[in-house]
Structure 1
Amino acid sequence: MITLEAILQARDTIGATLEATPMLSDLGLCERLERRVLLKGELFQRTGSFKARGGLNWIRTASADELNKGLGAVSAGNHALGLAWAARTAGAELTVVMPDNASPFKVAGTRALGAEVVLHGDINAAWEHMHRLVDERGLTLVHPYDDPRIIAGQGTVGLEIIEQAPDAAVILCPVGGGGLLSGIAIAARELRPDIRLIGVEPQGAASMRHAWTQGGPCRLAAVNTCANSLGAAIVGEYTYPLCRHYVDELVTVSEAGIADALRYLLSESKLFVEPGAAVGVAALLEGKVPDLPDQGDIVVVITGGNMGWEELATFLP
């Protein structure tokens, strides 16, 4: 199990390079819920999402042998961007396999950072192709979420939440493969045992809920959601038990709810977010989080803001 000490070490490793992201009070949600609602702005992190944290922690703790082989990754986009940026700081070569429906904005950004990008099938087919490339080229696979070094890096978000919102009662965190939720949950639960931790998934990619139901990681036959950054078909061997141990509950939100939340964040919160970053707000707007405690703040993690104009246009009236 990854420990709080590993997350504190990760902050020591990356903290001089990656600044803490801001915590913003959302006045519209505060008025609607008659509670203080705070948004953790990971869209302001390097490469536009929290993924730079795990990527940089992995790179800075990698051996020379791991780096010299060349790196391989599978990503819908944000892990690709974060790892490509981190790999460039170390002069390491990176090959990323992304699904055919990956955001063109993220594909272009990853290539601009020096990585080789291969587009291949859906997320399941992308993984199969990467495993072939690992065998053929001898690449070092850097998993987007199921790696202790990645999870520890993402867990630095949890440290910042507890420091910036000491009165937090609830944390709502988007879930793809579970790396961010796992890291935040370890840090938050160890520092604040009374805090309530809720993971939020799209209905069309509820891989963590599927794992909880099946008693372990179990691959979804298909993923169908506008929130591509949360489109992991299977959760991890690390992230499943960590979430089972630390997380209080999971909720799912509809595609319409995600779109409404994205438009709310654009127009009311003035935040340019991608669809996957909006699911926590969607859960609040759809009333998916009942029995909120009477005291304490609600913290919603806004995971990223990497979206091109064409993708944005699909959400506008």
Structure 2
Amino acid sequence: MIDLARLQQAQARIADTLSPTPLMLDHPLTERLGRRVWLKGELFQRTGSFKARGALNWLRTAGSEELAGGLGAVSAGNHALGLAWAARQVGVPVTIVMPENASHFKVEGSRELGAEVILHGDINDAWNLMHRLVEERGLTLVHPYDDERIVAGQGTVGLEILEQCPEATAILCPVGGGGLIGGIGVATASLRPSLSLIGVEPAGAASMAHAWAQGGPARLERISTCAKSLAASIVGEHTYPLSRQNVQALASVDEAAIHRAMHHLLYRAKLAAEPGAAVGVAALLEAAVTLPPEGDVVVVITGGNLGGEELEAFL
């Protein structure tokens, strides 16, 4: 059971190493919408995304038997960076399987942090290989989103937002596998139940909307989006019910909208965020969400891990 107490414990557990990230006013969006729009800068977190929170919380609650054979994970990149960084703090080896189209920037960054990175097929192929490696090598799987300790760590983002923005009536959160929005939802439902929590997905990887429509996690046959950090083909057994309980709405944005949002973040907000972090801004620019009539809006900018070649596509 993931409740407020577990989020607060996670916040205390990681506070000596991971500082709160800033909340920044997006002046152009504020002027456009006629209400304050704040950007939660998780791209400034250690390893360049919110993923370091869950990874560090997981490592600091792991037993010696879980660590003994090393750790394994599947990741598009940000979880790999966060887990490799956290595991290096305690000298535990990490094996990561990434899809072959993973960001070169994230692959090399994970290797620099000491992880063994294997590139293999698409995201479904990567998972199949990791399950084999868990059996063959005796690795402990650290799921990128469907793990209660990971979700609790990611939920500290929600605690910070509520502390930093007492007048917020809506939070827009990118959705991949659902770990971040699942954790934030525990915080909002417990501390500010009137707040509207809205998930935003790429139209080409709307795995949470698919799960809602199917009545439970169901794998997407095809993933196609530039927002690779959100390219989960299936949401989690933990994250699905959390979203149904605590998320008020889901929206999707197409590739053109993500490109426009990237342009806004780069040139108007002056933030070098990655495409997956831009979907919340895209939803506002496209009027793809229904907001409460009053109050501040917070958009979670989940990460900023992209290399020069990726950045060039949005210049």
Would you say the 8 A contact 2:205–2:224 is kept in 1?
yes
- The alpha-carbon deviation at position 46 of structure 1 amounts to 0.1
Would you say the 8 A contact 2:170–2:297 is kept in 1?
yes
Aligned residue in 1 for 2:200? 200
TM-score (norm 2): 0.99
SS in structure 2 opposite 1:280? helix
Aligned residue in 2 for 1:130? 130
SS in structure 2 opposite 1:272? coil
Unpaired segments ≥5 residues, structure 2: none
User: Moved runs in structure 1, 4+ residues, more than 6 A?
Assistant: none
RMSD over aligned CA atoms reads: 0.6
Give the Cα separation in 1 of the matches to 2:234 and 2:168: 30
TM alignment of 1:228-243, pairs within 5 A: 228-243=228-243
Give the Cα separation in 2 of the matches to 1:9 and 1:146: 19
TM alignment of 1:34-49, pairs within 5 A: 34-49=34-49
Give the Cα separation in 1 of the matches to 2:75 and 2:228: 10
Aligned residue in 2 for 1:302? 301
Per-residue CA deviations over 1:86-124 (Å, capped at 9, x if unaligned) read 000011000000000000000000000000000000000
Give the Cα separation in 1 of the matches to 2:117 and 2:285: 37
Would you say the 8 A contact 2:196–2:292 is kept in 1?
no
Give the Cα separation in 2 of the matches to 1:61 and 1:151: 13
Give the Cα separation in 1 of the matches to 2:154 and 2:58: 11
Give the Cα separation in 1 of the matches to 2:72 and 2:222: 23
Give the Cα separation in 1 of the matches to 2:232 and 2:303: 16
Q: Does 1:245 align with 2:245?
A: yes
SS in structure 1 opposite 2:53? helix
Give the Cα separation in 2 of the matches to 1:35 and 1:293: 11
TM alignment of 1:165-204, pairs within 5 A: 165-204=165-204
Give the Cα separation in 1 of the matches to 2:301 and 2:123: 23
Per-residue CA deviations over 1:123-145 (Å, capped at 9, x if unaligned) read 00000000010011110000000
Amino acid corresponding to residue 163 of structure 2 in structure 1: E
TM alignment of 1:261-272, pairs within 5 A: 261-272=261-272
- The alpha-carbon deviation at position 222 of structure 1 amounts to 1.5
Q: Does 1:65 align with 2:68?
A: no
TM-score (norm 1): 0.99
SS in structure 2 opposite 1:125? helix
Amino acid corresponding to residue 19 of structure 1 in structure 2: S
Amino acid corresponding to residue 311 of structure 1 in structure 2: E
Aligned residue in 1 for 2:54? 54
TM alignment of 1:1-317, pairs within 5 A: 1-290=1-290, 292-316=291-315
- The alpha-carbon deviation at position 289 of structure 1 amounts to 1.1
Give the Cα separation in 2 of the matches to 1:295 and 1:34: 10
Per-residue CA deviations over 1:151-170 (Å, capped at 9, x if unaligned) read 00000000000000000000
Would you say the 8 A contact 2:174–2:280 is kept in 1?
yes
Amino acid corresponding to residue 257 of structure 1 in structure 2: A
SS in structure 1 opposite 2:155? helix
Give the Cα separation in 1 of the matches to 2:155 and 2:79: 15
SS in structure 1 opposite 2:303? coil
Give the Cα separation in 1 of the matches to 2:314 and 2:304: 14
Per-residue CA deviations over 1:223-258 (Å, capped at 9, x if unaligned) read 100000000000000000000011001000010000
SS in structure 2 opposite 1:301? strand
Give the Cα separation in 1 of the matches to 2:234 and 2:228: 14
Give the number of equivalent residue pairs.
315
SS in structure 2 opposite 1:300? strand
Would you say the 8 A contact 2:52–2:82 is kept in 1?
yes
Give the Cα separation in 1 of the matches to 2:238 and 2:158: 17
- The alpha-carbon deviation at position 189 of structure 1 amounts to 1.5
